[in-house]
Amino acid sequence: MAVVERAKIYEGTRIPSPIPTVLQVDPKLREEGDILRVNFGPNHPSTHGVLRLVVDLNGEHVEGLAAVIGYLHTGFEKSMEQKSYWKAITYPARIDYVSFQMNELVFVLAIEKLLEIEVPPKATWMRMLMSELTRLHSHLIWLGTSALEIGAISMLWYTFRERDAVLDLFEMVTGVRMHTRYFQAGGLAEDIPPGFAAECARFCDLMEKGIDDYETILDRNAIWLERTRGIGLLSAEDAIALGQSGPVLRASGVDWDLRKAAPYLAYDQVDFDVPVYPNGDVYDRYRVRMEEMRQSVRIVRQALEAMPDGPWIADDRKVVLPPRHELHTSMESLIHHFKLVTEGYLVPEGEVYVATESARGEMGCYLVSDGGSKPWRVKFRAPSFVALEATATCMRDALIADLIAIVGSLDSVMGEVDR
């Protein structure tokens, strides 16, 4: 993947020094005494959770900025060390409550990498389909809330209409609308229900029409353009140095998508494009996400078309729960069921790092196992956490009114930032 047409927005790097994540006020300005320090958050409707930004203002200009996080720290990683693997699968979904399936996926992929278990193709394709639905879900929430914050209130009602349709699909497949715990080590928890393909195809039509609607509302909306163009600039070099990934990186002109660069699941067997925009501003991040939604619909359609038949979970009784009906007739199945539920399965010793392209960028999972049934150490590489590191760089020369647009465009979910 070559870097296409690197953005030439400004000369040199804008990453603050010496602390890359803190924009410090020029001491001369501070001496003049016109600096006003304002706390933005932690409880503010446009912080997507509880984020606190300490902003130093000179009139309307942002001169200093430091992000303070941790208000939503829940200790997921520590809790997961106390749970057997198959219980711990419930945790990652709750870390990022907006793209829950993808977090589940990365943890399950990490377990499977250590187990070296073969996943049946139906499960692989269904995982990909569900991941793309989650990407749509995440981008819809992002679009609705970000537009709401900049004043386009009606967007929220439109995007939540489609978002509800995604949740209806999740409910149909998994029985719950959020935090589905549908992915198991070895495959899926349940077979795909009958009638899902038709419902999902209907949703694809609805979604495509929905994206047209959003673009009609926003693409030529003078206020939207005014508030997003040329704001929150991040060059390609700065984005890579700050570890940005996903839509933020692609909006800075870097053609980088793990689905293409290091394909997992069945992404090498479907056709889709990676949208790349060169300007690195809020508007381009919006454009990248809109294009990504169209591509996700494309992938969902292809996955529906190509969905293979066969088992949905691996046939490995040391890892996978036996089928329910066998419990009444087979002693061995009952024993396996009991052992798997009480003790869990043993995962071979080792350390792995698995990265996937989540809705927000590179979602990674570092998993260390000592050979027992509980993870020794789990560490999530949260793309939201890293995205917030770029606030100081993006906020250079910004006005206080742009702050909300910029923080929104980085698309951080605080649950994932604080874990």
Partner 1 sequence: MSYGAVPGFVAEKEAYGETTVVVERERLLEAARWFRDEAGFDFLADVAAADYLGWGGKGVAGYWGHRNGRDINAPGSWGLPRTPEAKPNRFSVSYHLLAIRQGAPRVRLQVWCDDGDAVPSVVPVWPTADWHEREAWDLMGIRFEGHPNLLRILLEDDWEGHPLRKDYPIGGEPVRFSGEE
Residues that bind partner 1 (CB under 8 A): 1-3, 15, 18-22, 69-70, 73, 75, 77-79, 81-82, 113-114, 116, 240-243, 245, 254, 256, 258, 261-262, 339, 343, 346, 348-353, 355, 362, 364, 366, 368, 370-374, 376-377, 379, 381, 385-386, 388-389, 418-419
We find the least distance from the C-beta atom of residue 396 to partner 1, in angstroms, to be 14
C-alpha distances in angstroms, 234 versus 221, 252, 357?
23, 6, 20
Nearer to partner 1, 155 or 355 (CB): 355
Distance of CA 247 to the CA centre of its chain: 10
CA-to-CA distance for 158 and 140, rounded, in angstroms? Answer: 9
As measured in angstroms, the least distance from the Cβ of 350 to partner 1 is: 6
Q: Give me the sign of the Cα torsion angle 258, 417, 381, 137.
A: negative
Q: How far is the CB of 418 from partner 1 (least distance, A)?
A: 6
As measured in angstroms, the least distance from the Cβ of 7 to partner 1 is 15
Give residues with Cβ within 8 angstroms of 41, minimum separation 6. Answer: 47, 50, 51, 52, 53
* φ, ψ at 374 (rounded to 5°): -125, 140
CB closer to partner 1 out of 3 and 306? 3
- Cβ-based neighbours of 399, under 8 Å, separated by 6 or more: 60, 61, 62
In whole angstroms, how close is the CB of 113 to partner 1 at the nearest point?
Answer: 6
Contact 391, 47 (CB under 8 A): no
Smallest gap from Cβ 304 to partner 1, in A, equals: 28
Give the distance from CA 52 to its chain's centroid.
Answer: 21
Residue among 290 and 394 whose Cβ is closer to partner 1: 394
H-type alpha helices, 309-418 = 331-342, 383-389, 391-394, 400-410, 414-418
Closest CB to partner 1 among residues 176, 262: 262
Under 8 Å CB-to-CB from 152, ≥6 apart: which residues?
A: 217, 218, 221, 223, 224
Would you say 126 or 354 has its CB closer to partner 1?
Answer: 354
Phi, psi of 117 (to 5 degrees): -100, 145
Considering beta carbons, is residue 143 or 378 the nearer one to partner 1? 378
How many degrees, rounded to 5, is the angle at CA 403 between CA 397 and CA 406?
A: 95
State in angstroms the smallest separation of the CB of 406 from partner 1: 18
Residue 293 or 354 having the CB closest to partner 1: 354
Of residues 98 and 236, the one with the C-beta less far from partner 1 = 236
Q: Least distance in Å: CB of 254 to partner 1?
A: 7
Tell me the C-alpha distance between 198 and 262, whole Å. Answer: 31
